[in-house]
Amino acid sequence: MDEVPAADRARGITPMEFRLVKIHMSFHIWRLAQQVKVRQRVIATAITYFRRVYTRKSMTEYDPRLVAPACLYLASKVEESTVQARLLVFYIKKMCGSDDKYRFEIKDILEMEMKLLEALDYYLVVYHPYRPLLQLLQDAGITDLTQFAWGLVNDTYKMDLILIYPPYMIALACIYIASVLKDKDTTSWFEELRVDMNIVKSISMVILDFYDTYKIDPQRGLPEDKIIPVMNKLPSKV
């Protein structure tokens, strides 16, 4: 999913940098969502929209700094937890201070919302791994792993997994990782499910590789020296 659009390649953005921007802006959505106090599901939907957009549009054409809050705004409506655009504008200014590249007005978010709807082909349905996760943990009798596995699911939104695999398979991969790391023997339970363990293990490896590769601060995200040079390649206020 990290195929770089031609317009972004022309600005010197590599597949790794394309991925870094998506990770960085996922954190931006999460931090902004903490400020306006919305449910985790709204955040997950917003990040899914954000990632869907860049399977079709370039970051040169659609400034991720603006797409991120617009996705949160749209997701809050879809998930019936509406956040006012003026509140998003207020907290973006509070979070980003004097950085002119993040200086947006209400009309900017509203205009981008319309562009997003078009970019998404008005398809706004998102199925998340959270519900199957809880059901599967209960079925397996390992509800004591809920918090750990839930945290793993949250982290999968820093990757493109939600665009590639069914939510229940992502949930299973998170349960698999949690059970291995917490020494819970779930072998027979997985055998009874008759799922393709190659896919479960493949998703698990993507998640574990992500942790090994990026070493992200869970509160602050990517180090500034890693992301600022990439963000500087993008035009602002497109």
Does pLDDT of 133 surpass 60? yes
84 and 186 inside one domain? no
Here the tokens at position 175 are 């349960």
More confident residue, 237 or 151: 151
185 and 158 inside one domain? yes
Q: How far apart (Å, rounded) are the C-alpha atoms in residues 206 and 232?
A: 28
155 and 79 inside one domain? no
- CA 15 to chain centroid: 17
**pTM above threshold 0.75:** yes
Using one digit for the tens of pLDDT, what is the confidence trace for 204-222? 999 999 988 887 777 677 8
Last residue of a domain, one of 85, 107, 125: 125
Last residue of a domain, one of 125, 159, 182: 125
Beta bridge partners of 217: 221
**CA end-to-end distance (rounded Å), the chain:** 23
pLDDT number for residue 238: 46
Domain CATH number, residue 69: 1.10.472.10
The closest alpha carbon to 133, from 157, 112, 154, belongs to 154
Last residue of a domain, one of 90, 105, 125: 125
Is residue 191 situated within a structural domain?
yes
The string over 171-199, giving b where at least 16 C-beta atoms fall within 10 Å of a residue's C-beta and e elsewhere, is: bbbbbbbbbeeeebebeebbeebeeeeee
- Number of domains comprising the chain: 2
Is residue 233 situated within a structural domain?
no
96 and 179 inside one domain? no
Using one digit for the tens of pLDDT, what is the confidence trace for 135-182? 999 999 999 999 999 999 999 999 999 999 999 999 999 999 999 999
The string over 96-133, giving b where at least 16 C-beta atoms fall within 10 Å of a residue's C-beta and e elsewhere, is: beeeeebbbeeebbeebbebbeebbeeebebebbbebb
Using one digit for the tens of pLDDT, what is the confidence trace for 64-90? 999 999 999 999 999 988 899 999 999
Is residue 230 situated within a structural domain?
no
Range of the domain at 144: 129-214
119 and 151 inside one domain? no
Is residue 74 situated within a structural domain?
yes
More confident residue, 200 or 215: 200
173 and 80 inside one domain? no
What residues have CB less than 8 Å from 225, skipping those under 6 apart? Answer: none
- In one-letter notation, the amino acid at residue 144 is D
120 and 163 inside one domain? no
pLDDT number for residue 94: 87
Is residue 19 situated within a structural domain?
yes
Q: Check if the beta carbon of residue 4 is closer than 8 Å to that of residue 15.
A: yes
